[in-house]
Amino acid sequence: MVIDLTVSEKRTFIRFLTLYLGSSLILMLLIAFFYFENEKRLYFDLAKSNMQNTVSKISSKIIFSHMTDTPFDKTKILDTNEYRISFYNEKKEKIFGNLDDEIDFSKDIMQHDEKHFILIDKSTLGHLGVFYIAIEENLYFNEIKEMKVNILFFFLIIYSFISLTGFYLAKLFLKPIKEEREKLNNFIRDTTHELNTPISAILMSTEKSQLSEKQIERVRLSARRVSEIYKDLTYIFLQNNDEKRITESLSFDMLILEQLEYFEPLASKKRIKINSSLETFEYVINKDDAIRVVNNLISNAIKYNKVGGQIDISLKNRILKISDTGIGIEEEKLKDIYKRYYRATKEQGGFGIGLNIVSKVCSKYKIEIQIKSRLKEGTVFTLNF
């Protein structure tokens, strides 16, 4: 997933990753440290317990041999790789054994070097002349070293996974921002294009001091188009939603006829025939809002219609239908047509806010809106009041 980011988005992306990965690193280091210390303590307790059990068994054998006057077999005790052991007399002199390290008999357990622990046992109580047994454990530090390697290995794997997840999440969070930025850029470009056409027409028509009827009509249509664009933009971006709009009982059939008169030159230009069958119908609504709905639906019906096409408008039993014989909309795109900036086709001009306005107005006045469309056959909008 490649995302082209702006400077500010890159800065946000880096900050998020730094915070996410930094906090994750600190948390994982703490978890690894406490886990290591806990396991180290458990390993030590286990090693100490094993040493105590071993030396206790040996001490019992010495006492038993002394009490029963039987020989004490030293061979099996000394023939092992798990530990080294030596036996000492009352003067702390070594009697026999394979542990040659210097022993501090004042301690119960001592760390001889960085590799061994030595346990000193005094439970023989002088039997067979043995007053002290010193046993050295040889596996503890190897197990600790192996545990360090395992913890580091799993730490790197988990942190790598967390890093990749954080990278993906950061991009995932920025994706909607990028999409909205692209929509806004497209909206600005489309708005500029939409304004350029009527403004250019006005400028071209007013180059001469004496204007013909055709030029005057062209200026009037272009000015009306600029006015419509301005009103749509104002409705979307400048309208205060909390502000109460004045409503009135509006004659919808008369309003539609008024707007059809305005669209007549545009329809004639594409040789589009408009049929209307309108019953008298009044509805309580703000007039500007009603005009926005009717104008956008009729404008789209003309804009996306074929040359020589037809538009049928009917108002009956509180239901307004506006159907055209235009290019239609793909079924999978119908669910998105009311989204701001969304355009189902790029065949005609527009900047994707007309149907968003229609949807907002209908929602505000509890008007149910439905759409049916077939590609290359036409579209039908139905408003149920």
Whether residue 26 contacts residue 134, with contact meaning beta carbons closer than 8 Å, is answered with no
Angstrom distance (rounded) from CA 1 to CA 25: 25
pLDDT digits (tens, 9 = 90+) for 10-59: 787 788 888 888 898 999 999 999 999 998 888 888 888 888 888 888 89
Contact 193, 349 (CB under 8 A): yes
Most confident of 91-105, 192-206, 340-354: 91-105
Positive or negative: CA dihedral 94, 97, 98, 104 = negative
Neighbours of 292 (CB within 10 A): 20
If pLDDT is split at 50, 70 and 90, which confidence band does 2 have? Answer: very low
pLDDT, tens digit, 9 for 90 and up, residues 316-372: 999 999 999 988 888 888 888 888 777 666 655 566 778 888 898 999 899 999 999
Instruction: Quick: pLDDT tens for 362-379.
Output: 998 999 999 999 888 899
Cβ neighbours of residue 28 closer than 8 Å, sequence gap 6 or more: 155, 158, 159, 162
- The CATH architecture that domain 241-384 belongs to is 2-Layer Sandwich (3.30)
pLDDT, residue 235, reads 75
Mean residue pLDDT across the chain = 83
Give CA–CA dist 200/36, Å, rounded: 76
Domain boundaries, the chain: 7-143, 241-384
pLDDT for residue 1:
42
Task: Write the pLDDT tens digit of every residue in 253-312.
Answer: 999 998 888 788 778 888 999 999 999 999 999 988 898 899 889 988 988 899 999 999
- What is the predicted pLDDT for the residue at 103? 85
Distance CA 323, CA 311 (A): 6
Query: CB-based contacts of 372: which residues, under 8 Å, 6+ apart?
Result: 379, 380, 382
Using CA atoms, how far apart are residues 9 and 127, in angstroms rounded to an integer?
81
Query: Using an 8 Å Cβ cutoff, are 253 and 281 in contact?
Result: yes
pLDDT at 282: 92
